[in-house]
Amino acid sequence: MNRQKIILILIALILVALFFWLDLGRFLTLESLKANRQLLLQYYADHRLLTVAAFMAIYIIQTALALPGAVILSLSAGAIFGPLMGTLYAVSAASVGATISFLVTRYLLRDAVLAKFGNKLEGINKELEERGINYLLFLRLVPLFPFFLINLAAGLTRLPLRTFVLGTFFGIIPGGFVFVNAGASLASINRLGDIASPRVLGSFALLGLFALIPALYAKLKAARKNIYCRTE
């Protein structure tokens, strides 16, 4: 491993260590967001560009390093920026963070990730390589696997970067909008479980199935072709 790779890994480890050492997670709670919402709104009114840049930087770092707090950050986007712009900022930042994680896995941590998560990622890897963006959209829409695991899995495959970026960005828009929109009505939320209701999760599952239709059709067509060839 060359010097540049070692330096990047050390920086990432230091950032993760600082997050837990300084207990920054205490700011990423529903209670903290509610208590500080007016302060955040006032700061945004006085420093719009800086607030957006700071929010997106924090969200990118959180996603890239797989730190806790993604849900609270999405709620914050709605509480500060409103549902539409909040969704744009949150989804864009999450996509950038996921892409960084994808690239780091592909070019820096491939062996380490395989050693730790190889068995868990084997099935995802196979489907991503064979079905590309359709399966990636399914994974993003249906919360079967943790967000960071999908980033790691995709980084181990030959999935093109462009496909990963597009699949991630469009795949997380529905879920992102649900949480950001909920953040815009923050006063009505008493616990995080109120947001991800069974009805909402069921809607995501249905969207995910639609994303899989082309891949399932191709698989069925290939299976029928194999059967036909055997019978000749």
For 123-143, how does the pLDDT look when each residue is reduced to its tens digit (9 = 90+)?
667 777 666 777 788 888 876
For residues 183 and 78, is the Cβ–Cβ distance under 8 A?
yes
Predicted confidence at residue 218, as pLDDT, reads 57
Q: Indicate if the pLDDT at residue 43 is higher than 80.
A: yes
DSSP character for 190? Answer: S
pTM for this predicted structure: 0.81
- What is the tally of structural domains in the chain? 1
Q: Indicate if the pLDDT at residue 198 is higher than 70.
A: no
What is the overall mean pLDDT for the chain? 82
Predicted confidence at residue 213, as pLDDT, reads 61
Residue 161 three-state SS:
helix
Q: Tell me the C-alpha distance between 87 and 65, whole Å.
A: 21
Q: Tell me the C-alpha distance between 191 and 44, whole Å.
A: 25
Q: Tell me the C-alpha distance between 104 and 15, whole Å.
A: 15
Tokens read off for 169: 């960005």
Predicted confidence at residue 105, as pLDDT, reads 86
Domain that includes residue 135, residue range = 3-231
Predicted confidence at residue 5, as pLDDT, reads 75
| Identity at 156, one-letter amino acid code | L
Tokens read off for 166: 């597009």
Tokens read off for 228: 């036909």
pLDDT, average across residues 166-194: 84
pLDDT, average across residues 7-31: 89
